[in-house]
Amino acid sequence: MLRFAPSPTGDMHIGNLRVALFNYIMSKQRSEPLLLRIEDTDQERNIPGKEDEILAILALFGIEHQEHQFQSNNLRFHRAMALQLLHDKKAFSCFCTPETLEASREAAKENKTAYRYDGQCENLRAEEVIDNTNPFTVRLKKPSESITVKDIIKGESTFAPNDIDSFIIMRADKLPTYDFACAVDDMLSDISLIIRGEDHLSNTPKQIAIQRALGYDRVIEYAHLPIILSIEGKKMSKRDDASSVKWLLEEGFLPDAISNYLIWIGNKTPCEIFTLKEAIKWFDLQSISKAPAQFDIDKLKFMNREHLKGLDPKELSRYVGFADEEIGRLAKIFLDEVSTLKELRVKINAIFAPKIVPDEFKEGFDVLKKLTLVAPHFDDYDSYESYLIEHSGLKGKNLFKPLRYLLSGSEHGPELNDIYTYLKNYLKEVAK
Ligand code: GLU
């Protein structure tokens, strides 16, 4: 089983979506189920409603999962496993106060050495533990041997016992730490491959140490995905709008285009424009670059335009708020100028909205408008144009400029002939 394990603590970031997509693709390739595990144990940071948002986004992108868990429902297992580790003397109770620990941390900083737990409580006698009524945490004893993480993208990295240290697995409030909850859950769900962001790479040896201490011997595969940077090469923060999946959708990027971009970026793909379904056929984690990927919104716009071009006209029509496929065809001819649905809606709405026409063309516009309202139906643009010329006496710029305002609501745009082809059944509405 594979898993996608988001925390409901903020908007879904493009990095999270990329992780979800890759997990989905690999689960399909391996015919293994995908688990959605909502990591909601950090109650202070949970934001109500975020879980529904995650579910809605996954559904919109066609990322299906077969199992759904809330990490908070597994607390009894986390506690049972912590007790087991204490019983086996692989973990110990630590009564060190936050103040003492902070002081050692400060001291390490001053000495410019890496902070390590000093082992103070590791060998307390049973009575010392039993008689102590102070709050305590549970620490896993640091492993006796180094731990090597084999990563499909990053290669091998080895962590010495001292780097792993005797770290906390249960906090004083008896809630598991992130590493402990995650390691236990992955073990209980029999996860075969973990794909996640590279910010978690330093957690991996700790999670392996926990699983080994619990006697779990399945070798889980790992793939830590390089971070996505902004075009300036900086970390994309929550303040970069484009890092939010919700923002991209609101701006009118199609889910298919966003998936295409997130699979393509920092990867070697056999082609540039593809669907998620196609990617399942050839996707290879080994082709993902080790180096950070850079998010280029212009490239995403290009891909979005390609996906918009490929849409069925009826579907495109619905996206811009109409039901008739002719409007979808009409929308397509504006794709040379725009790249998102939001921009496309502006173009289509301008056709049907009351028009603002510059004074110099106002008179001609009013004449053409009246004529169009009473004109018979013409199947082709040339006949319509001849009719207007004949009845208005306008020609050249004095005909075409106001006519363009009438048919498109703006001064520039696609060929009038093309616009007319798809708009001819709406002329009375457009001129009203
Ligand atoms: N909940 C973690 C996050 O959202 C994911 C941890 C994991 O995939 O192991 O970053």
Q: Ligand 1 centroid to 179 CA: how many Å?
A: 10
Candidates 3, 39, 72: which one to mutate for ligand 1, based on the most atoms within 8 Å of Cβ?
39
In the reported structure, the alpha carbon of residue 370 is separated from the centroid of ligand 1 by a whole-number distance in angstroms of: 63
Nearest CA to ligand 1 atom 3: 6
**What number of other Cβ atoms are within 10 A of residue 15's Cβ?**
22
Q: What distance in angstroms lies between residue 379's CA and the mean position of ligand 1's atoms?
A: 59
Say if 116 falls within a structural domain. Answer: no
Which of ligand 1's atoms lies nearest the C-alpha of 3?
8
* Residue 182 near ligand 1, beta carbon < 6 Å: yes
Largest CA distance in the chain: 107
Residue 280 lies in a domain: no
Interatomic CA distance for residues 307 and 273, integer angstroms:
8
- Does any ligand 1 atom lie closer than 6 A to the CB of residue 37? no
Amino acid 30: pLDDT:
98
Task: Enumerate residues 6+ apart whose C-beta is below 8 A from 61.
Answer: 17, 20, 21, 255, 258, 259, 276
Tell me the whole-structure pTM to 2 decimals. 0.94
Give the number of domains in the chain: 2
Per-residue pLDDT tens digits for 325-352:
999 999 999 999 999 999 999 999 999 9
Please give the Cα distance from 257 to 58 (Å, whole number): 15
Both 426 and 364 in one domain: the answer is yes
Residue where one domain finishes, among candidates 326, 352, 378:
352
β-sheet with 91-94: strand ranges across: 91-94, 137-140, 168-170
Ligand 1 in contact with 200 (CB < 6 A)?
yes
404 in any annotated domain = yes
> Which of these, 147, 216, 222, 137, lies nearest to 184 by C-alpha position?
216
Asked if the structure places residue 32 within a domain, the reply is: no
Residue with the smallest CA separation from ligand 1 atom 6 is 5
418, part of any domain: yes
204 lines ligand 1 (CB under 6 A): no
With beta carbons less than 8 A apart as the criterion, state whether 19 and 7 touch: no
Predicted local confidence at residue 242, as pLDDT: 86
Closest CA to ligand 1's atom 2: 6
User: Which residue type does 385 have?
Assistant: E
Range of the domain at 316: 311-352
421 with 403, same domain?
Answer: yes
Segments of the chain with pLDDT less than 70: none
5 CA → ligand 1 middle, Å: 5
Q: Which atom of ligand 1 is nearest to the CA of 9?
A: 4
Output the pLDDT for position 295.
95
- For residues 402 and 365, state if they share a domain: yes
Q: What share of the chain is helix, strand, coil (3-state, %, to 5)?
A: 50, 10, 40
- The pLDDT, as a whole number, for residue 200 is 96
- At residue 174, what is the residue type? K
**What pLDDT is recorded for position 322?**
95
Residue ending a domain, among 303, 332, 352, is 352
CB-ligand 1 contact for 196 (6 Å cutoff): yes
Q: Which residue, 301, 322, 328, 405, is CA-closest to 363?
A: 405
Kindly state whether residues 335 and 369 are assigned to the same domain: no
Compute the distance between CA of residue 364 and CA of residue 387 in angstroms, rounded to an integer: 14
Last residue of a domain, one of 352, 369, 384: 352
- Triad 109, 114, 117: Cα angle to 5°: 100
User: pLDDT at position 241, please?
Assistant: 86
With a 6 Å cutoff on the Cβ, whether 195 touches ligand 1 is: no
In a domain, 94, yes or no: no
- Tell whether ligand 1 has an atom less than 6 A from the beta carbon of residue 23: no
How confident is the model at residue 432, as a pLDDT?
87
The DSSP 8-state label assigned to residue 141 in this structure reads: P
**Ligand 1 pocket, residue 191 CB under 6 Å:** no
What pLDDT is stored for residue 8 in this prediction? 95
Write the burial class of residue 395 (CB in 10 Å: 0-12 exposed, 13-18 middle, 19+ buried).
exposed
419 in a structural domain: yes
Ligand 1 near 5 CB (within 6 A): yes
Measure the CA–CA gap between 151 and 186, rounded to whole angstroms. Answer: 17
Residue at 331 is within a domain: yes
Whole-number Å distance, alpha carbon 197 to ligand 1 midpoint, is: 8
